[in-house]
Chain A
Amino acid sequence: MTAAAKKERRKPPLGIVTRPGSSLRNKTGPWGIMRPVFDCEKCTGCNTCESICPEGCIRHLEKKVYEADTEFCKGCGMCAEACPSDAITMAEERR
């Protein structure tokens, strides 16, 4: 359906259709108080932390420089436990 044709038809009934990716407005950061701290010196770039994070909020913009999106990080600590190089520690976030 073209965008023009779509405009002429009714909107979907209430509650039937949910917009994709709309969960992004639900910031889960406040769920926890612990945040991962990444030690780039020890990091080997294995990408384990980024792979296993349940939120998918760990990224690296450069090799071996990892960071977590505190807007979504729930502070579970899986990344710190799973890091084979002990390059991640969990620290309490002070706002």
Chain B
Amino acid sequence: MSAPEFTYDISRGFMPGHRACAGCGQASAVRLVMEIAAPDCVVINATGCLEVFSTPHPESAWSVPWIHSLFENVPSVASGVEAALKKQGKLDKVRVLAFGGDGATLDIGFGALSGMFERGHDILYVCMDNEAYMNTGVQRSGSTPYAASTTTSPAGRQSFGEDRPKKNLPAIAAAHGIPYVATASMSYFADLRRKVKKAINIRGAKYLQVHVPCPPGWGYDEKLTIEIGKLAVDSGLYPLVEWEDGEVTRVRKIKQVPVEDYLKTQRRFRHLFRSEEGKAQIAKIQGMADTDIKRYGLVD
């Protein structure tokens, strides 16, 4: 007897048939968020990987109301949707979700994001952080980690890659005093689910930054997405922290691993293992991880 056909219904929010790379961390994370938020929500999406792989007209992977406008105006478009729903008396029942990549969120949309936080709109903004402008070909963003090689911060004879540390947007978001800010990783999906559920039930502006590994951008075999995401968190390079009303209220403790274990898995850091200078940079990165581990109390 053959098994019943696979069915995909509206409550999933995000359907298969999208054109994400095999092994895409972002597709995984979006699915997890949407399974909690759908169907009573509206999604506003920035230009980027997610938008492009999910909506090549006439195909759409979204079963909830969804809009894409431009690259840097997601927080503002979401503010307009929220204001309209508020006026229509629907904001109690319908959640407003915004999705943007790290480029859209940390760089080009930074001003609009700050405005949205400052005005306190009832919106959950989810940043899919794959640490570069992936959709346009892996160019660096403000979120690209120190010493990573991207196409606009490449490792070369006179460069070790990205020479600036990662912009700490969660702390900036928290400084706005909004009710809830959290970092999460799609590799620790139970933790991610908990944070989404928590955020979605809070009224006011919420920011969730999800670390999502990218096989072509970071340079690794697509099956390793979960493993690599875990190493990022467990090395202290991606602290999983929650802020409420501007103060840190909870962190996820780690069983610390050396940053080398994380860096050596990806082509974007491979150059660090080929020279003395690279070794020195790895030590620097370890120092950065240790600082954050201490700052957030990630190790008992």
Q: Chain A interface (Cβ within 8 Å of chain B)?
A: 15, 18-28, 31-32, 48, 51-57, 59, 61, 67, 69, 71-72, 74-78, 80-82, 90
Contact = CB atoms under 8 A, between A and B. Distances in A.
Given A51-B189, A59-B6, A81-B226, A19 B27 contact: no
A31 to B, nearest CB: 6
14 contacts: A20-B62, A22-B59, A23-B17, A26-B19, A51-B32, A52-B186, A53-B28, A69-B16, A71-B6, A76-B22, A78-B23, A78-B28, A78-B225, A81-B224
B254 interface: no
Nearest to B39: A20
Interface residues of B, number: 42
A78 B223 contact: yes
A72 B16 contact: yes
Nearest to A59: B6
A94 B118 CA distance: 56
Interface string B42-65: 000000000000110111111110
B14 interface: yes
Given A31-B22, A56-B31, A71-B6, A19 B60 contact: yes
B130 to A, nearest CB: 13
Nearest to A80: B223
B226 A21 contact: no
Contacts of A20: 10, 60, 62-64, 66
Contact of B17 (A18, A24, A67, A82): A24
A52 B16 contact: no
Given A57-B6, A72-B17, A77-B222, A23 B227 contact: no
A22 B58 contact: yes
B63 A55 contact: no
Nearest to A70: B6
A44 to B, nearest CB: 15
Interface of B: 3-4, 6, 8, 10, 12, 14-20, 22-28, 31-32, 54-55, 57-64, 66, 186, 189, 221-227
User: Which of A18, A24, A56 is packed against the most chain B CB atoms within 10 Å?
Assistant: A56
Contacts of B221: 77
Nearest to A90: B223
A37 to B, nearest CB: 14
A19 to B, nearest CB: 7
A32 B21 CA distance: 11
A82 B60 contact: no
B16 A15 contact: no
Contact of A52 (B8, B28, B57): B28
Contacts of A18: 55, 57-60
A74 B27 CA distance: 12
Given A51-B189, A52-B189, A54-B31, A23 B22 contact: no
Contact of B59 (A26, A75, A80): A26
